Amino acid sequence: QDASDRATASQPAQTTDGVHVAVYANCGSVEEAEAAASLGAEGSGLVRTEFLFLERRDAPDEEEQLRVYQRIATALAGRPVAIRTLDIGGDKPIPYLPLPREENPALGLRGLRTSLWRPDLLRAQLRAMLRVQPAEHVRVLLPMVTDLDDVRAVRSVLDEERASLGVAAAPKLGVMIETPASALLADQLVREVDFLSVGTNDLSQYALALDRGHAELAPRLDGLHPAVLRLIATASAAATAAGREIAVCGGLGSDPDAIPILLGLGIRELSVVAGAVPRVKRIVRGLSEAACRSLATEALAQTSARAVRELVQAKTLGT
């Protein structure tokens, strides 16, 4: 199937009843961005910038970041690119960023909190993003947001750096929906951001209070749990009501059982590992959006992730 998936990968993916689903790639290096372009990705819904900050003695400066972000944007040749600000914390120590020792790193200084704690790093990163050309394709994505205060704090830094660089147009600003708080408050967030992107890996971890890195428990972490699906449904409904884009960029977006449910919940953009783009497009082409909608309604009423998986597997969703 791989060969035939690849042959059709450059074509957009539509459901059998004509609904377009954009398939983007997550990128953690320039090479992945190049692979994404050749595998038919319509852009990048998530550039994980951590790769540039790990395993080195000092932080990359604005110029170095600009060079790398520019290469990623160039590889994706005018397609939209959502560059995420640094998502780092106590679990991934970096020598030049000594974080206080924490009992619960997953609940401590990580993601955007780390950036706001070290605004010098945030400023350099935002300046590099603002300088990438063509600017209209670059989007700024914020990890580990809980509420509008987070957005406002970044917006003011972004506006200051934009003024200092003489950049007239504000880039699209979006937030990861990966804390239960952000999903529940999505109706408020969409008033001040341009797009949402659901990080199902962390959203599942925080909703189910189950460490995604736990050696024994992590295999039980399933984003198809109805509690997680209800959070995604809440965020999706808020985005749709406000006319804002909402994507899924966590691992659930490439899970064949999850794709029909996500479409049924109103998701129209999936960002997945580059290698999965052709397969995800093929899966979308085999689904009817109308059938996905009724499936999603039933999924929300299930009592466990296992029951949701059994439900999906028992259905034929084409036609």
Residues that bind ligand PEP (CB under 6 A): 46, 48, 87, 178, 199-202, 249-250
Q: How many CB atoms lie within 10 A of CB 135?
A: 15
Interface map 172-201 toward Mg ion (x if CB under 5 A): ------x--------------------x--
Beta carbon nearer to Mg ion, 199 or 253 = 199
Burial profile 84-105: b = 16 or more Cβ within 10 angstroms, e = fewer: bbbbbbbeeebeebebeeeeeb
Beta carbon nearer to ligand PEP, 182 or 288 = 182
Q: Among all chains, which residue has been given the structure tokens 């999850």?
A: 258
- Report the relative pairing of strands 245-248 and 195-198 from DSSP bridges: parallel
Joined tokens for residue 79: 């397609």
200 binds, among Mg ion, ligand PEP, none (CB under 5 to 8 A by kind): ligand PEP
Shortest separation between residue 165's beta carbon and ligand PEP, angstroms: 27
* Reduced DSSP (H G I as helix, E B as strand, rest coil) percent helix, strand, coil of the chain, to 5: 50, 15, 35
Joined tokens for residue 277: 């783009």
Beta carbon nearer to Mg ion, 223 or 264 = 223
Shortest separation between residue 167's beta carbon and Mg ion, angstroms: 28
Q: Per rule CB under 5 A, is residue 161 in the interface with Mg ion? A: no
Alpha-carbon distance of 260 to 7, in angstroms, equals 23
Beta carbon nearer to ligand PEP, 74 or 201 = 201
Joined tokens for residue 233: 């449904």
Bridge partners, residue 317, by sequence: none
10 binds, among ligand PEP, Mg ion, none (CB under 5 to 8 A by kind): none
Shortest separation between residue 26's beta carbon and ligand PEP, angstroms: 7
Beta carbon nearer to ligand PEP, 184 or 291 = 184
Alpha-carbon distance of 300 to 184, in angstroms, equals 16
Joined tokens for residue 316: 């034929």
Interface residues toward Mg ion, by CB under 5 A = 178, 199, 202
